[in-house]
Amino acid sequence: MHLFPDYCEPYLGQLLVPFARIPMAAGLRQIFYEIGDVHILAKRSARQMSGESEEQASLLCKTLERNVLEMLEHYLEHCRLQMHHYDSQSFSPDAIPVIDTALARLFAENSHSNELRVLIEAPNNAIVGDMACKYLMESQHYYYCSLIHMSQDEPAAVLAIWRRILQGEYKDNRFGGLSEYLAYVVGIENQKLLLEEFLWLITYNVDASLRILAHLSDVSVRAIDADIVIKSIEAEGRDWPLRTFIERLISAGHTRATHYMTYLVNVYVRQIRDYYLDNTDVARARKDALETNYRCAQAERLSLTFRAYLKNVHGSDEGAGLREQLIEILSCRPASYDPAVVLECIEAEASEYLLVERAILLVIMDRENEAVDLLVNKYGDYAEAELLLLKPNALISLAQLNPHHQHHKLSHSDMNEADSDAEMVQNQLGTTESNVRRLLTMYLCLSEKDDDMAARLVSNIMSKYAEYINMDILQEIPEFWPYSITESFVRRGLETLNHKEQASAIERNLCQARAFNTRLDYVEATTTHKPIFLDYSQTCAKCKKLLGSSAFVYAPDTEEVKHISCA
């Protein structure tokens, strides 16, 4: 190695034993002194072989120098092979780092990438990292330098080099770019370093940073200054990465989770707006397809709510999946977002489209009447409106989202006195004559837009809630509607009237019997004559009509019984 001065000082430095201290024969030492170094030897040899041509001498000198370096490389490889696989006792322990460190430089200079990688990744390599890395950085072999840091378990140094290559400060085509960077980073177990890389990468490539975000622990995520990260993501104007980041914040239990949940819901609203209301043919087709498919399903089953429909199709429709997730977040109790802020966002971004979502928020804000009107008159989710207005205690009813109604339901089950808010909700919601009449009136008004649907809805309500509907509703039924619409209601009404008449007759007979028995007891108690026995068939001696419950007189002499009016 002393024949190669470039490898002595400052590269290998104190690793080499000084030449004067190397034991060898005097004649051999003299030969080395005469050679001096390989560069001088190559120049002399080139001049001797090329004659007086300076150009040829220069070319030949370079060739000879390359040959000498290759010879040194092969020699050191042979030494390393002997050292690790055969007789290592013939080598001084001090020679091992010299061989490996010199080989690292030789492989780099000769562009032997595969050999260098094998050497660096070998578990038994003895490369002196500081020396090799200093040379590799000076000679702009940045990637090779990073590999040495990697082999010595110095991830921070590796990533420092790779970041500069990614940013263009260093140039090295051997580096695999962002894909190699990510593959290495996600395998790091140091959470502090991972967090540092995430915060750097968020300013370089947002999508790539989300790959690292998935590997951060909840503790690391909670330590993030979320506002700064959100600002960086917002600069790109894309909601998908913003949504992914905020979802991770919330799942990690960030201290401002409620604030960011409100932000997340607003992001969902914007994504749905972009998906369906982008003013493009594709967006319009998506919107029409979802609406048409729901109306077809609703026509087959009037009890189908839009929420239930989304649950059925969200796996096959990306937009339906977005809306289903949004509704699920809005319906989660207790609410972890600000409903007023979200409602404001919906009204600004998609006021005439996200009508069911608006209705949910109105219910939460104790504005059920507005929600019912919205569901019936603007969107046509009739099943949802029926559940909300007439069946507030059903588990699937939107009324369950109102904390006042939930409180009333609990206090009622405990037989406690309901507070004023609960009483207000009780008066507004529930299966009452006024609420059923209100829903019927709203459905009747729909006949101008969709007469068939209005008729079906009215028929459905009249058959399900007949006991809460007065017969005068028939005056409001359009004359051109077929009798089948109201037939079941009319039949039930007539049956009810018949039952009432029969009940009245039975009640009259019972009253007459009680009155008759009373009179019989009175006669027995006040007369000195023998008892008088009367039954229901007793007639008046004069008019020959049944006595019934009318007052009567008895003539003891003739034993005649007459109405008091006939006596």
Please write the tens of the pLDDT for every residue from 36-57.
Answer: 777 777 777 777 777 667 777 7
Residue 59, in any domain of the structure? yes
In angstroms, how far apart are the furthest CA atoms of the chain? Answer: 181
Q: 492 and 505: one domain?
A: no
| Token pair listed for 21 | 């201290």
Residue 415 has pLDDT above 60, yes or no: no
Q: 526 and 436: one domain?
A: no
Give the pLDDT score at 506.
Answer: 47
**Domain limits at 107?**
1-172
pTM for the model: 0.66
Residue 94, in any domain of the structure? yes
Q: Does residue 280 or residue 257 have the better pLDDT?
A: 280
Give the pLDDT score at 230.
Answer: 92
- Give the pLDDT confidence of 353-396 residue by residue, as tens digits: 999 999 999 999 999 999 999 999 999 999 999 999 999 888 88
What percent of the residues of the chain are helix, what percent strand, and what percent coil, each to the nearest 5? 70, 0, 30
Q: 490 and 512: one domain?
A: no
Give the pLDDT score at 502.
Answer: 53
Q: 158 and 44: one domain?
A: yes
Residue whose token pair is 């006595």 = 547
| Average pLDDT score over residue span 416-443 | 69
Q: Which of 92-96, 308-312, 401-405, 551-555 has the highest mean pLDDT?
A: 308-312
Residue 527, in any domain of the structure? yes
Q: Which residues contact 511 (CB under 8 A, 6 or more apart)?
A: 549
Residue 255, in any domain of the structure? no
Given CA atoms 10, 15, 19, 25 in this order, what sign does their dihedral have? Answer: negative
Give the pLDDT score at 84.
Answer: 67
Give the pLDDT score at 56.
Answer: 73
Residue 139 has pLDDT above 60, yes or no: yes
Q: 456 and 508: one domain?
A: no
| Average pLDDT score over residue span 2-31 | 68
Q: Which of 172, 199, 231 is the last residue of a domain?
A: 172
Residue 180, in any domain of the structure? no
Give the pLDDT score at 411.
Answer: 36
Q: 463 and 548: one domain?
A: no
Give the pLDDT score at 2.
Answer: 66
Residue 256, in any domain of the structure? no
Q: 478 and 506: one domain?
A: no
Neighbours of 289 (CB within 10 A): 14
Count of domains observed in the chain: 3
Residue 545 has pLDDT above 60, yes or no: yes
Instruction: Decide: 124 and 91 in contact? Cβ < 8 Å.
Output: no
Q: Which of 147, 174, 169 is nearest to 158 (CA)?
A: 147
Neighbours of 100 (CB within 10 A): 21
pLDDT band at 507 (very low <50, low <70, confident <90, very high): low
Residue 191 has pLDDT above 90, yes or no: yes
Comparing 132-146, 280-294, 399-413, which segment has the lowest mean pLDDT?
Answer: 399-413
Residue whose token pair is 């020679």 = 95
Q: Which of 206, 358, 380, 333 is nearest to 269 (CA)?
A: 358
Give the pLDDT score at 398.
Answer: 87
Give the pLDDT score at 201.
Answer: 93
| Token pair listed for 180 | 């190699």
| Average pLDDT score over residue span 445-472 | 88
- Give the pLDDT confidence of 223-250 residue by residue, as tens digits: 999 999 999 999 888 899 999 999 999 9
Give the pLDDT score at 18.
Answer: 65
Q: 132 and 157: one domain?
A: yes
Q: 384 and 512: one domain?
A: no
Residue 230, in any domain of the structure? no
Q: Which of 141, 172, 203 is the last residue of a domain?
A: 172
- Give the pLDDT confidence of 103-133 residue by residue, as tens digits: 888 888 777 888 888 888 888 777 887 888 8
Average pLDDT taken over every residue of the chain:
81
Q: Which of 172, 205, 227 is the last residue of a domain?
A: 172
| Average pLDDT score over residue span 303-318 | 90
Q: Please state, in angstroms and rounded to a whole number, the distance separating the CA atoms of residues 54 and 59.
A: 9
Residue 258 has pLDDT above 90, yes or no: no
Give the pLDDT score at 471.
Answer: 82
Residue 321 has pLDDT above 80, yes or no: yes
Q: 442 and 517: one domain?
A: no
| Average pLDDT score over residue span 410-422 | 39
Residue 511, in any domain of the structure? yes
Share of the chain above pLDDT 90, in %: 38
What DSSP character marks residue 110?
A: T
Q: 483 and 541: one domain?
A: no
| Token pair listed for 135 | 């040379």
Instruction: Decide: 180 and 208 in contact? Cβ < 8 Å.
Output: no
Q: 559 and 485: one domain?
A: no
Instruction: Decide: 376 and 442 in contact? Cβ < 8 Å.
Output: yes
| Token pair listed for 379 | 């969107």
Q: Please state, in angstroms and rounded to a whole number, the distance separating the CA atoms of residues 297 and 304.
A: 8
Residue 501 has pLDDT above 70, yes or no: no
